[in-house]
Structure 1
Amino acid sequence: MQRVTVTLDDDLMEQIDRAVSERGYQNRSEAMRDLARAGLQQVAVEGGEAEDSIGVLSYVYDHKARDLARRLTNTFHHDHDLSLVSTHVHLDHERCLEVSILRGPSGDVKHLADHVTTERHVMHGKLVLIPWSDQSDG
């Protein structure tokens, strides 16, 4: 391991100390390593550096909307190689929540998620991407 010295303003240090306390980190170093890893993952995904990714797509939609369920099903069938599993929850009489776990090239996963979340009567949608490699990091 290497030791790094960083200068942080007081407000940022307070936020980090709060995260250390709330999450139960052993020390600031553990928190900083986690924050650095999370930031690097996000940069890799957003910058297109991560070729493959795991995506968690969650979205809420109006299940009574005409043909929406059929269109969504067709979208997932079209990209069946990206979809690992989905779960469906009835929120109330009109709305459903679906959560789908996807795996594949980051661009393809983003494209599928965009196609789903921009469908008319899909009210809320969010994709979380995590860089993925079939090779162990050791």
Structure 2
Amino acid sequence: MERFTISLSDDLAADFDNWIQARGYVNRSEAVRDLLRKEIESERLEQNLATHCVASLSYVYNHHERNLSERLAHLQHHAHDLVVCTMHVHLNHDDCLETLFLRGSTQSVRGFADKVSAESGVRHSVVNLVPVSSTSAHQHTHFHPMT
């Protein structure tokens, strides 16, 4: 493990300590590591350097919209290699929230998320991509968090 020292103003150090405490970190080092990981992963995604990911795609839709539930189910079945599972919540008489858990190539996951989000009647969609490394063993693909 490599160690380094940083200097912070008293105000910034106090703000950082408050931030650490509010999030339950036990020390500054782990908080800095997580901040660095998050920034590096964001950069990988922005530059299309993350070839594989796990993701959640959440969206709200009106289930009375003509054939929308069937269209969404068709998209999910067509992408069965990406969709790990689906969670469906009834928000009120008209609206539903679905969250899909996805894994696969980042390009494929993004493309699928774009197709679902573009369906007429889908509102408030958001995708959260987490870059991972991929290794194949015994016909199973294993994903590991990027370090």
TM-score w.r.t. the length of structure 1 is 0.88
Aligned length: 138
The one-letter amino acid of 1:47's match is Q
- Deviating more after overlay: 38-47 vs 51-60: 38-47
- The residue number in structure 2 matching 1:17 is 17
Q: Is the 8 A contact 1:16 1:31 kept in 2?
A: no
- The residue number in structure 2 matching 1:28 is 28
Structure 1 residues 9 and 68: CA distance shift in structure 2, 3 A: farther
- Deviating more after overlay: 104-113 vs 8-17: 8-17
- The residue number in structure 2 matching 1:5 is 5
- The residue number in structure 1 matching 2:40 is 40
Q: Please list every run of 5 or more consecutive structure 2 residues that lacks an aligned counterpart in the other structure.
A: 136-143
> Aligned-pair RMSD on alpha carbons?
2.1
- Say which SS state the counterpart of residue 134 (structure 2) adopts: coil
Q: What's the offset of the Cα at 1:7? A: 4.5
- The residue number in structure 1 matching 2:130 is 130
Q: Is the 8 A contact 1:103 1:109 kept in 2?
A: yes
Q: What's the offset of the Cα at 1:89? A: 0.8
> 1:49-75 deviations in whole A, cap 9, x for unaligned?
111110111111111111111111121
Counting strand residues as a fraction of each chain, which structure ranks higher? Answer: 2
Structure 1 residues 123 and 50: CA distance shift in structure 2, 3 A: same
- The residue number in structure 1 matching 2:100 is 100
Structure 1 residues 77 and 13: CA distance shift in structure 2, 3 A: same
The percentage of aligned residue pairs carrying the same residue is: 42
- The residue number in structure 2 matching 1:113 is 113
TM-score w.r.t. the length of structure 2 is 0.83
- Say which SS state the counterpart of residue 133 (structure 1) adopts: strand
> 1:105-128 deviations in whole A, cap 9, x for unaligned?
001101111111122211111111
